[in-house]
A and B are shown apart, each in its own frame.
Chain A
Amino acid sequence: MKAVQFSNLILECATRTLRNQNGNKVVLRPLPYEVLLVLLQSEEPVTRDELFQRCWEGTVVTDQALTNVISSLRRNLLSLKAKCVEIKTISKVGYFIEVDGIEIERLPDVEAPEDVPRMFVDSELSALPPTHLDVPDSRTANLAKLIPALLSTTLIITLLLISYFKPFSEKPAFIKKGRYEQFALGDTHYFFKDMTSGFVSSDEVQEQLSRTIPPTCGVDIYIRLFPSSYEPDKVALSVWLQQEGGKRNHNFRQFAVEKEQIATYISEALVNREVTCD
Chain B
Amino acid sequence: MRLVLSFTTLLLVAVIVYQWKYEEYDFSGTRWHCSETQMGFTSKAYGNYDKIEELTTIYFPTNGSALYYQSGTLTHKNGDIEPFELVVTSKNKIVANRIEQTFTSVDWSEKPLNSPLFIRDKNSAVGYESELNYYIDGKKLYFFSKSGSEEDNYACHKV
List residues of A whose CB falls within 8 A of some B CB.
Answer: 145, 148-149, 151-152, 155-156, 158-159, 162-163, 166, 168-175, 195, 224, 226, 228-231, 234, 236-238, 240, 242, 247-257, 265, 268-269, 271-275
Residues of B near A151 (CB, < 8 A) are 5
Bound together, the chains give a CA A66 to CA B143 distance in angstroms of 73
Q: Does B107 contact A (CB under 8 A)?
A: no
13 cross-chain CB contacts under 8 A: A148-B4, A152-B4, A155-B8, A169-B20, A172-B135, A174-B144, A175-B155, A231-B42, A247-B139, A251-B155, A252-B36, A252-B37, A254-B39
Q: Which of A173, A230, A236, A275 is in CB contact (< 8 Å) with B43?
A: A230
Q: Is the CB of A162 within 8 A of B12?
A: yes
Count A-B pairs with CB separation below 8 Å. 138
Q: Is the CB of A249 within 8 A of B36?
A: no
Q: Which of A155, A228, A251, A254 is in CB contact (< 8 Å) with B12?
A: A155
Residues of A near B137 (CB, < 8 A) are 175
Bound together, the chains give a CA A272 to CA B39 distance in angstroms of 13
Bound together, the chains give a CA A240 to CA B39 distance in angstroms of 14
* Contacts A173-B148, A234-B42, A268-B39 given; does A247 touch B135 at CB 8 Å: no
Bound together, the chains give a CA A158 to CA B19 distance in angstroms of 14
Q: Does B58 contact A (CB under 8 A)?
A: no
Residues of B near A257 (CB, < 8 A) are 40
List residues of B whose CB falls within 8 A of some A CB.
Answer: 1-2, 4-5, 8-9, 11-12, 15-16, 19-20, 23, 33-43, 51, 53, 55, 97, 133, 135, 137-140, 142-144, 148-151, 153-158
* Contacts A162-B16, A249-B140, A274-B33 given; does A238 touch B39 at CB 8 Å: no
